[in-house]
Amino acid sequence: MKGELFILIGEAIGVYFLVLWAHSLRSRCGLAHFYALIGSLTAVMSWVTDAGVKVFLPHVELMVGSTVFYTALLLGVFVVYVFDGPRATRIAISTIAGVSIIVPIIALILHMQIKLSDSPPMGHVPIPSLRINSASVITTIADLIFLAIAWEFLGKPRINLPLWLRSFFTLLGVMWLDVLLFSTGAFFGTPDYLHILTGTLVSRLIISVFAYPFLYLYLDRQNKKFGMVIEHRPVLAILKEVGEVRLELSLAQQEIERRKKVEREKESLIEQLQKALNEVKTLRGILPTCAYCKDIRDEGGDWHQLEEFIQSRSEAKFSHGICPDCRKVHFPHVRETV
């Protein structure tokens, strides 16, 4: 029994780590590989669950399908919803639900094909139960939708739960809802219904306590590493487009502000160019000049030296010298040098 338990723990750690690691690569590779992984794990979960693989502990039975693979899928959808939003979560839920429906149908077709060909029965491919598989598919969809609703409800400001409590109660709530819905759908009316229900509730509590550290550490690490803000979405965001609408409105508002900034910069540039053009026109127009000192009058009525006026309105610079005529008048005793 100890050997089986250690194998189960190793499987769970490996699969949990694989799912969370695949999600952590989304910034470089997107989410396509993540969806492929959870689809594959869903197929494995269906086969293992139909095969009834279990590990027995004192007073508790641990189903390998739910302990390892279903919990891994739950963690995957959990982190996708928290970090990637309702749209990505609906894709993940559709992937899991679609594979959950297809796998038992394929198994049933294979058995029918073997039976028609008079070949020995395939013991390694379990025969699916319509009631159990239907209950599993419906329960899985309900669980994953409830996960998003519970996460948002527990995140309301008036409840104000810290991240670690919010994560644990959401995970445990989904686990127990799964037990109630699946056990009722698959086994209600049978003699073992209450025994299965109570035993599975205990086992899911154990699984929640075991899986919770993986979830919390991943949420906390991703939040700190990438500076992500864990949003508070509407409670029914998983069912509605409210989350996407708010995001699109936010992006639209940012685009509007960006365009306003560009427009302001454009207007400022036009104003500067217009001012420069006006100054150029002033230099090209008629300049009122004093007939004696040659000072120039500006548009405000003030008088300026010729050099000062031109330098302030153009790129021209002045230097001073003496022309030959003035030299002869003012400095007749100085001989002209070559």
Model pLDDT, residue 34: 93
Task: Identify the bridge partners of residue 57 per DSSP, sorted by sequence position.
Answer: 60
pLDDT category, 338, cuts 50, 70, 90? very low
On the CB side of 52, how many CA atoms lie within 13 Å of its CA?
A: 6
Over range 101-108, report the average pLDDT: 86
pLDDT category, 225, cuts 50, 70, 90? confident
For the chain, give the percent of residues with pLDDT over 90.
Answer: 8
Model pLDDT, residue 66: 80
Q: Is 80 exceeded by the pLDDT of residue 48?
A: yes
The model's pLDDT over 254-268, given as tens digits with 9 standing for 90+, comes to 777 878 888 888 888
Greatest mean pLDDT among 50-54, 140-144, 224-228 lies in 140-144
Least reliable range by pLDDT among 7-16, 32-41, 232-241: 232-241
The model's pLDDT over 131-144, given as tens digits with 9 standing for 90+, comes to 888 888 888 888 88
Over range 96-105, report the average pLDDT: 88
- Contact between 43 and 99 (Cβ < 8 Å): yes
Over range 299-327, report the average pLDDT: 79
Here the tokens at position 23 are: 């999600």
Over range 91-116, report the average pLDDT: 86
Here the tokens at position 109 are: 């077709």
Write a three-state SS string for the chain: CHHHHHHHHHHHHHHHHHHHHHHHCHHHHCCHHHHHHHHHHHHHHHHHHHHCCEEEECCEEEEHHHHHHHHHHHHHHHHHHHHHHHHHHHHHHHHHHHHHHHHHHHHHHHHHHHHHCCCCCCCCCCCCCHHHHHHHHHHHHHHHHHHHHHHHHHCCCCCCCCHHHHHHHHHHHHHHHHHHHHHHHHHCCCCCHHHHHHHHHHHHHHHHHHHHHHHHHHHHHHHHHHCCCCCCCCCCCCCCCHHHHHHHHHHHHHHHHHHHHHHHHHHHHHHHHHHHHHHHHHHHCCCCECCCCCCEECCCCCEECHHHHHHHCCCCCCCCCCCHHHHHHHCCCCCCCC
Q: Is 50 exceeded by the pLDDT of residue 242?
A: no
pLDDT category, 239, cuts 50, 70, 90? low
CA–CA–CA angle 59, 65, 66 (5° rounding):
65
Q: Note the pTM of the prediction, 2 decimals.
A: 0.64
Greatest mean pLDDT among 54-68, 203-217, 230-244 lies in 203-217
Over range 315-329, report the average pLDDT: 79
Over range 319-333, report the average pLDDT: 80
